[in-house]
Amino acid sequence: MKEIQRKRMEKQILRYVAELYFREIKNTNIGFVTFTRCELSPDARLARIYVSIPGEEISGVELSGGKNKRKSFEALQHTAKFIKGRLGRLLALKHVPEVEFVLDDSLEKAARIDELLSGTPPDLLQEKESQDRSAE
């Protein structure tokens, strides 16, 4: 598969997966998900779909509210066969690629870098938030 064709197919798969998720997946165990990118293997037999799930976990305990990030990701992984079947109906391919979800933490890393570059140490931000809450 030529590189231009692969890039087009990756974009198309990503769009279809996002549409399928928002229209047809009714799993209440999956929280908010952002589909960030798709990478097809050189033989187009595997589509890695990168997803971002907001939240922060330490030892399986959710810190920022919402669904547990790990449980949401596991529930999303269980939809891979369903999504592959739907892609088979939507794509004009000889072989429909297997769907594999990969947790993409690049948005969280970017936020952390931005926080570090802002010059305010994280401990001071937490202290300030605590003081603001107690003042209310």
pLDDT digits (tens, 9 = 90+) for 41-95: 998 899 999 998 886 554 444 444 445 788 888 989 999 999 999 999 888 778 8
Asked if residue 47 lies in contact with residue 38, where contact means CB atoms within 8 angstroms, the answer is yes
The Cα 80–Cα 96 span in angstroms is 12
Residue type, 23: R
The Cα 64–Cα 125 span in angstroms is 15
CB atoms within 10 A of CB 83: 21
Helices (H), 25-59: none
The Cα 130–Cα 83 span in angstroms is 44
Superfamily in which the 3-104 domain is placed by CATH: K homology (KH) domain (3.30.300.20)
Look at residue 7 and give its three-state secondary structure. helix
Q: Does this model's pTM top 0.85?
A: no
List every span in the chain annotated with CATH 3.30.300.20: 3-104
